[in-house]
Structure 1
């Protein structure tokens, strides 16, 4: 077992808490800033922007232990102050608001307690930080204290006036319940868990884009629109997409399904490798989605049976035409090409849908591969004989 002192778990929890807290910030955004946007690890741990300029910087500090207090000497305090002095121009009275969000409780009578949003006393806070800065420390903490004292009296006062301390904030395990509470107005009755999982999936994807710099920010309007769209998927006439493309690991799936009958069927017609890989993803997503729909009572098994029957009917018509065209052909290359063309043509159709409730093309394609996996449909003219041989070996 690894040394808990050097464990990466607290850091990992801290980063996860940071991204989860950003979602909570978005959901809590009121009508006073409908055009505001949130960033991750850009200006600070979390930052609010308005018209491209940072208006509020948040440092998020997460601690699992509840017996330690946030004091004026705490490393969290001085490392946060240094970060802001380095990046936020401490003396700029018009600069962004500075917020320290900590799971620890501010020590009574401390500068941190005096900077809570209610009952603020900036003079007490400034005096407390100046006293703490006079004590010797080491490394970056000592640098931060010297940097703070190097500010002129007016600049120190202006700097402290921009700081708010949100102590005793919820820990990571409490955030999901808070997110649920913020979304209580739109929870679909009977499907609350699935809807919340879809919201979290949406946010995890956006957070990754923010951290990878593929997206600059997520604004309040975008979040509200995305959540409303997810909620609309639970109306009577629609079904939600619960198996996202981003959930699939392409290489892992290709390996996992490499010996499956539906993959063998594609190999019998020399289906191109990129299309084969995408077909495996369609199959996996369709199967995953069908299972989750049934588990959530969104779809009855009979509905899927009807859809599969319609897909088999559609396939039978096209398969027979292919056989007619190949009647005088025994060349294996021609027969493979005909089978590949049949699969390609069917894959390019939307085909039958699930009682007009769901029209995503990947689902129909995946269902076709599910039928091919059982041998109900096939692509090579001799697929039935080959399936019998395959099943005899298994």
Structure 2
């Protein structure tokens, strides 16, 4: 193993643990804190706040492998105390509660053990930590120990009165099961793993926004509303969108489909490049999304075919009206203008949905392009003749790229 590789992976797992454990903390305690919010790396690793002020600061420590013992001279303990001594108004008895969440287990007879909720003895912790601070030779903890010894005994007592050690916490590999248990009452009857993956994906985006400073916190009510929103997508009248716009590499997808039949059809009515690129992304998302729904047994092929029949029926009527309005003597400019208007009208149409409550517009837009790719519909009044010409000078069109 290259030098430093273990340390790098341990640090990465530690950050992942902090982020994912924050969601577990939010879901566990939000019912009792409806007017509070949680944040990451704002006041501490994780913090609860109310009206903009922190009420609880949490440090999250994760250890890989077998259960680790937490003793009075351990680095985790002193690093955590150093953070709080520097930033958490350590001598203010009214300051926020300070919680050390660790997968390690506090050894019996240690300061950490007597700072647990079920065995508190703050005076004993003061004595044990003073003894450890004076006798330890660890260079890593030297500054923290020196700082602690600079406090008076009364100040040490005030600080430790606010500290709680939550040891034996779940490890990073256990958080999936914990999330499932916390949400068991809200899980859909089927596709539970997909629902939970969507919850984690939502949380990853929220956490990234907090780490980048794009948002400050997440309220208990907001989390509850989002979980309900995700759950509603698994009803019989709805579907979950799992292929998000942010998941698509636009340049790659555009290059892949630049010579597709549906792209030629859009060029025949002088579609601008911006909307052409967006149409290609819609097509890709719609094909990929349908494949995922079918794979997850969220939709059947018969339902998808019925939806496309309805799209074609909508197009039949609109195309017939366009031909009637053009008349027999329309020139090419008029045909292009009429075809472009038809494309725009149906692009913005919301009258046909795959399910009554599913209204993510990219899917209907994309499936119309699937029909155009399969030469079932078109935009230019003479699209059928143009398709015959196009296909006569190119390789025969293949099957569509998915359901």
CA positional deviation for 1:40: 0.8
Aligned to 1:26: 26
Aligned to 1:292: 292
2:61–2:102 Cα contact (<8 Å) kept: yes
Aligned-partner SS, 2:32 = coil
Matched, 1:392 2:393: no
Q: Which stretch shifts more, 267-276 or 23-32?
A: 267-276
Counterpart residue number, 2:126: 126
Question: CA offsets per residue over residues 130-149 of structure 1, 9 Å max, x none?
Answer: 1222233335x221111111
Deviates more, 1:96-105 or 1:287-296: 287-296
Residue 137 (structure 2) aligns with: 136
| In 1: Cα distance, 2:390 partner to 2:371 partner | 12
C-alpha distance in 2 between matches for 1:308 and 1:361? 14
* Post-superposition offset of 1:259: 4.0
Structure 2 CA distance for partners of 1:41 and 1:252, relative to 1, 3 Å:
farther
Larger mean CA deviation between 76-85 and 1-10 belongs to 1-10
Q: In the alignment, which residue of structure 1 is the partner of 2:345?
A: 345
Structure 2: distance between partners of 1:90 and 1:263: 65
2:302 matched residue in structure 1: 302
Q: Which residue of 2 aligns with 1:40?
A: 40
Shift of 1:6: 5.6
Match of 1:254 in 2: 254
Secondary structure of the structure 2 residue equivalent to 1:287: helix
Per the TM alignment, residue 393 of structure 1 is displaced from its structure 2 partner at its CA by 8.2
CA distance in 2, matches of 1:9, 1:279: 41
Q: Counterpart of 1:111 in 2: which secondary structure?
A: coil
Please report the TM-score for the alignment, with normalisation by the length of structure 1.
Answer: 0.91
- 1:5 CA drift (Å): 4.1
| Alpha carbons of structure 1 residues 257 and 43: separation in structure 2 relative to 1, 3 Å | farther
Q: Secondary structure at the match of 1:100?
A: strand
How many residue pairs get aligned? The number is 392
Match runs of 1:103-182 below 5 Å: 103-134=103-134, 135-138=136-139, 141-182=141-182
Q: Is the 8 A contact 1:378 1:384 kept in 2?
A: no
In the alignment, the residues of structure 2 paired with residue 101 and residue 234 of structure 1 have an alpha-carbon distance, to the nearest angstrom, of 35
Shift of 1:265: 3.2
Relative to 1, partners in 2 of residues 1:301 and 1:77: Cα closer, same or farther, differing over 3 Å?
A: same
Tell me the CA shift for residue 292 of structure 1.
2.7
Give a deviation string over 1:265-297, Cα, whole Å, max 9, x none: 334444222222322332233223322322333
Counterpart position of 2:370: 370
Question: 2-side partners of 1:259 and 1:8: how far apart?
Answer: 45
Relative to structure 1, the CA distance from residue 261 to residue 142 in structure 2 (aligned partners, 3 Å threshold; closer, same or farther) is: farther
By how many angstroms is 1:206 displaced?
Answer: 1.5
Paired residues for 1:83-102 under 5 Å: 83-102=83-102
Contact 2:67 2:103 in 1 (8 A): no
2:71 paired with 1:71: yes
Any unmatched runs of 5+ in structure 2?
399-403
Give 3-state SS (helix, strand or coil) of 1:109's partner: coil
SS at match of 2:396: helix
Using the alignment, how far apart are the partners of 1:364 and 1:167 within structure 2? 51
For residues 55 and 109 of structure 1, the distance between their equivalents in structure 2, rounded to whole angstroms, comes to 29
Q: Is the 8 A contact 1:22 1:46 kept in 2?
A: yes
Structure 1 residue 326: Cα displacement: 7.6
Distance in 2 between residues matched to 1:391 and 1:345, nearest whole Å: 31
Tell me what 1:62 maps to: 62
Q: CA deviation at 1:82?
A: 1.2
Corresponding residue SS for 2:170: coil
Query: 367-376 or 271-280: which moved more?
Result: 271-280
Residues 193-202 or 153-162, more deviating: 193-202
2:401 maps to which residue?
A: none
Are the aligned partners of 1:351 and 1:364 in contact in 2 as well (CA < 8 Å)? no
Q: Distance in 1 between matches of 2:260 and 2:352?
A: 25
What TM-score do the two structures reach when normalised by structure 2? 0.89
**CA separation in 2, counterparts of 1:326 and 1:384?**
22
The DSSP-based 3-state class of the residue aligned with 2:185 is helix
CA distance in 2, matches of 1:393, 1:285: 20
How big is the alpha-carbon RMSD for the aligned residues of Structure 1 and Structure 2?
2.4
Q: For structure 1, which segment, 175-184 or 319-328, has the greater mean C-alpha deviation from structure 2 after superposition?
A: 319-328
Give the Å deviation of 1:151: 1.4
Contact 1:375–1:387 (CA<8 Å) still a contact in 2? no
